[in-house]
């Protein structure tokens, strides 16, 4: 789920844009190794079955094509690349501090378009 290219880029397998309620914008900052480790952990859990409730979204929120522009403004698809002049420990800090789902998604205010206001993190 997390490490697949479809989720990372905000696009489902059927090519529909995903809504950013799934914090794919933050997972792009992780190393592939860490994303695969999280996927392995999630897949090790027992599935929970629940009834899916279809909640139709009102206009204009039901226009998924508009998310193409949202992603253009707020999605940085570049994977984290370690700085060769820093130690392994120093390189791991920037992965999790500003953009991890726990820190960035929950503790960063949103702008009017619901993108993270990283200047106010």
Percent of the chain with pLDDT over 90: 5
Q: Averaged over 64-71, what is the pLDDT?
A: 86
Strand partners, 75: none
* 38 vs 78, higher pLDDT: 38
Which residues 6+ apart lie within 8 Å of 9 measured at CB? 24, 71, 75, 77
Going by pLDDT thresholds of 50, 70 and 90, the confidence category of residue 28 is: confident
Please say if the pLDDT value at position 10 is more than 60: yes
Residue 120 to residue 112: CA distance in whole angstroms: 13
Whole-prediction pTM: 0.58
């Amino acid at each position: 789920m997390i490490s697949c290219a479809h989720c990372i880029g905000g696009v489902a397998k059927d090519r529909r844009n995903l809504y950013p309620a799934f914090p794919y914008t933050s997972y792009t900052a992780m190393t592939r190794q860490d994303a695969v480790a999280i996927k392995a952990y999630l897949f090790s859990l027992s599935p929970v079955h629940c009834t899916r409730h279809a909640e139709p979204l009102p206009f204009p929120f039901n226009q998924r094509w508009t998310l193409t522009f949202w992603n253009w403004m707020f999605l940085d698809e570049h994977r984290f690349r370690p700085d060769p002049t820093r130690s392994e420990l120093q390189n791991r800090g920037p992965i999790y501090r500003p953009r991890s789902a726990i820190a960035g998604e929950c503790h960063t205010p949103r702008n009017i378009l619901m993108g993270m206001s990283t200047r106010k993190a």
